[in-house]
Structure 1
Amino acid sequence: MNPQPPDIAYAPPAPEQHGVDPKTGRGFLARGRFLGLIGPAFVAAVAFVDPGNVATNISAGIDYRYMLIWAVVSACLMAMFVQYLAAKLGLATGRSLAEVCRDHTSTPVRLGLWLVAEAVVIMTDLAEFVGGAVALNLLFDISLFNGGLIVAAATMVILRVRLRGREGFSAVVVGLLFVLALAFLYLVVNSPLDPVAAVSGLVPRLPDSRSALLACGIIGATVMPHAVFLHSSLIGGLSPDRQGTLRTQAVLRFLRRDVIIALGVAGVVNLLMLLVATSLPAGNGDSLVSVHAAFLDRSGAVFAAVFAVALLASGLASACAGVYSGQAVMQGFLRRNSSVWLRRAVSSVPALVVLALVTDPTEALVFSQVALAFGLPFALVPLMIFTARRDLMGAFANRVRTTFFGVVVTTVVLALNGFVIIDLVLTG
């Protein structure tokens, strides 16, 4: 058995010694901790509304109308649960999931988990760059490759804000999240909807293999594996002493509320994406370009421009979160810090290659989300194992019902993945 690092064992200090009311948590408000606790949940939530979500939800809405609403809602609830566990792990241990995996798994397992996590980050970067480049092409007729270069430069500027202080970075990223939310709210308000059909979409069903592929993509795009590493890292590094002064039930309640609100906003945005696409005629879901053209023909230039702006905000915000996810993965698994600038430059290469070689990368966006769904169990299984261990989590260890629900979530993901693999094998 691996030796137990001394700062992982749960030994909460007396909350009163740090000016914290253990019942209300008011000490955090007085000490300016509130924004520090709000920021991580919303920064992580940005990962759930990236261009891959836009492509997958739009495709689902056009091809199956309201039929896959249940998949969006289920994915949102699963994301809330998973991100709460990630935040709880960071709070209880003062470490990210990657760091805990490094310290409590064998070398072959650790390397395998690291390679899968890196592949997940690459797929995430692909979706973010491609989505932002497509948005710039729709807004300003910029080529996809040049648009990718602009997205890379814009994220560098936002990351510069991050280096000057977390609060400023969080404000920028959360601001982009709400731009995205308001844009899709505008689109839905100005779109014809069928409330009865929308309610019927809450009943789970998969009429064919294509719907299963999209459902798998919706889950992969919403329950993002790299966000698990990111959120646990943000919470684990919240205080200089690795959480020694913050391990209280009051803080855990703050984090739970944070996750519900932040992921609730992200879930509503995902639902709005699907709803706005239900008004488009079948055959327009092959690409984001064709979706934009359909909006332009049906509702006018303003409507189409708002859609493109939403896509751009999605790409910029999630690209910044993706960089820090990659850093958390490398630092956690390998104990190696990577330059944020180098990480951004390297992660741009695969996306720029795709943008240079293809004329319509929307299908790549959808399949990148399916790839994320396949990578999800490699984050979920360790998360469930470690958060159930009392020697790691102490009083924050999962209850039996929490572990049971985690097993159900993981089983659903594995079942969807298995369905897609069988379908791909049978259909060639």
Structure 2
Amino acid sequence: MPKSATREQRTSTPRVAWLLGPALVAGVAYLDPGNVASNMTAGARYGYLLVWVVVVGNVMAWLIQYLSAKLGIVTGQSLPETLGRRLRNPWARRAYWLQAELVAMATDIAEVIGGAVALWLLFGVPLLWGGMATGAVSIALLLIQSRRGARSFEFVVIGLVAIIAFGFTYGVFIGPPDPAGVVGGLLPRFEGTDSVLLAASILGATIMPHAIYAHSALSRDRFAPVLLEAIDDADAATLEDRRGIATTRLLRATRWDVTIAMVIAGTVNLCILLLAAANLAGVPGTDSLEGAYAALQAGLGPAVATLFAVGLLASGLASTSVGAYAGAEIMHGLLRVRVPLLARRLVTLIPALAILALGFDPTLALILSQVVLSFGIPFALVPLVRLTADAGVLGSHRNRPLTTAAGIVASVLLIALNGLLLWLVLASG
């Protein structure tokens, strides 16, 4: 068999299992401490009322993450890189970078604080030292990514995702929810202004701008070698055909990757809400992570509470690493500057550590970080939908009209709900 045929047989149709991973890493953003706080509070305050919000948010997240991955695969560039090349005005590019950088730092605050709270709950580690430990572990994970490659980083993060999933779902089997309540929660409705605020908070914590930036970069890094190998040894006449076939197969595998990641993330988030709805509804003090931990310990026993804290710790460690990766990509793509990973990580840890050192309420800091994140959602969503619908950018792989319409609807809904969240928070403050 000719060499080119052998290579094509071996690489143009890589095993789907080997292609899974980027979405699972990006999906960690949907399992961060901000999500935990929002879903626990929703279940404790309103029972099963907002189950439908978690489901709707997960469906929208599937579409958005797939579009992000598709952009990275087809163009070979991340979303920040693509925008950095299209924004000709240097001041516009810097302004866009600044808001994206602030979003990444706000994400980091929530994740480092979540890890610090988990270490305090588990071992009594002071919050400041816990934040430092969380930052140190995230540095180690990022060094794995930079020195061992994307695949090794994926394995570590996927392992943490498994811990997160077990830690947050175990309690549902010990204190199971009411099936009728779960079914009733699928009916869209609200009960007053506070439930609207909480629904907007759930969606704001679900769709995070840094996950969009990160997924396009993760897909680029992982699949660029696959595409290069797929077109190796091809003559000019067949080059585009072979690249197109390889890209189509990668996109098909990516749909599976995103589906698996979103099913895991959606299930875990739903279990967090159901755990609170079934066991913490009406219990005072459960509007904070510490209060929820104490209530779980009193109601379901120390094993459930400990696993919850372990899941929170894994959530903080995994999500802060992905957030730092996204921040590095944002700087590189928009400013075309690469800062040493260690130096950048140390700088972005400062705000979170300062908050912990000043004794600021951790749960309130988590909530405020979600408000900051809501500012960045339009700047990530609108360009993503616009670029993936452009034949000049994606060619034959551009969105179908129905996909673009769905992306526009999701964008408008998310922007409107996050605008409502901001208005309600500012009005109540």
TM more than 0.5: yes
CA distance in 1 between counterparts of 2:144 and 2:129 reads 23
In 2, Cα distance between the equivalents of 1:239 and 1:259? 15
Contact 2:31 2:319 in 1 (8 A): yes
Which segment drifts farther, 193-202 or 237-246? Answer: 237-246
Query: How is 1:98-177 mapped onto 2 (pairs within 5 angstroms)?
Result: 98-107=80-89, 108-162=91-145, 163-177=147-161
1:135 offset after TM fit, Å? 0.3
Aligned to 2:193: 209
Instruction: Compare 202-211 and 191-200 and name the one that shifted more.
Output: 202-211
AA aligned opposite 2:115: G
Query: What residue identity is the alignment partner of 2:112?
Result: F
The 5 Å alignment of 1:183-198 reads: 183-198=167-182
Find the aligned partners of 1:324 and 1:396 in 2 and give their Cα distance.
27
Q: CA deviation at 1:149?
A: 0.8
Partner of 2:207: 223
Distance in 2, matches of 1:344 and 1:80, equals 29
Moved more, 250-259 or 207-216: 207-216
- Cα distance change of structure 1 residues 286 and 34 upon mapping to structure 2, 3 Å threshold: closer
**Inter-partner Cα distance in structure 1 for 2:188 and 2:94:** 37
Distance 1:345 1:396 in 2: 39
- What residue is the counterpart of 2:60 in the other structure? 78
- Report how far residue 239 of structure 1 moved: 4.8
Aligned letter for 2:301? G
| Distance apart, 1:78 and its partner CA | 0.8
Question: What percent identity do the matched residue pairs reach?
Answer: 44
Give how far 1:281 is off: 3.8
State how far apart, in whole Å, the 1-side matches of 2:427 and 2:353 are.
33
Is residue 54 of structure 1 aligned with residue 54 of structure 2?
no
User: In the aligned structure 2, how far is the partner of 1:331 from the partner of 1:88?
Assistant: 20
How far the C-alpha of 1:17 sits from its partner, in A, is 8.9
What per-residue deviation string (whole Å, max 9, x for no partner) do you get for residues 270-301 of structure 1? Answer: 11111111111422322111111111111222
User: Cα deviations across residues 293-340 of structure 1 (Å, max 9, x unaligned)?
Assistant: 111111222121111101001001111111110111111111111211
- Deviations for 1:62-121, whole angstroms, at most 9, x for unmatched residues? 111111111111111111100100011111100000011111234244333212211110
Which residue does the alignment assign to 2:51?
Answer: 69
Deviation digits for residues 140-170 of structure 1 (CA, Å, limit 9, x no counterpart): 1111001101111122222232222322221
* 1:57 CA drift (Å): 0.8
- SS of equivalent to 2:222: coil
Aligned pairs for 1:160-309 within 5 A: 160-162=143-145, 163-239=147-223, 243-244=227-228, 245=230, 247-278=246-277, 279-282=279-282, 283-309=284-310
Paired AA for residue 306 in structure 1: L
CA RMSD of aligned residues (A): 2.0
Contact 2:36 2:272 in 1 (8 A): yes
Give the deviation of 1:18 after TM superposition.
5.3
Distance 2:427 2:137 in 1: 43
- Flag the structure with higher helix content: 2
How far residue 427 of structure 1 moved from its aligned partner, in angstroms, is 4.0
Letter in 2 for 1:118: E
CA–CA separation in structure 1 for the residues paired with 2:360 and 2:223? 46
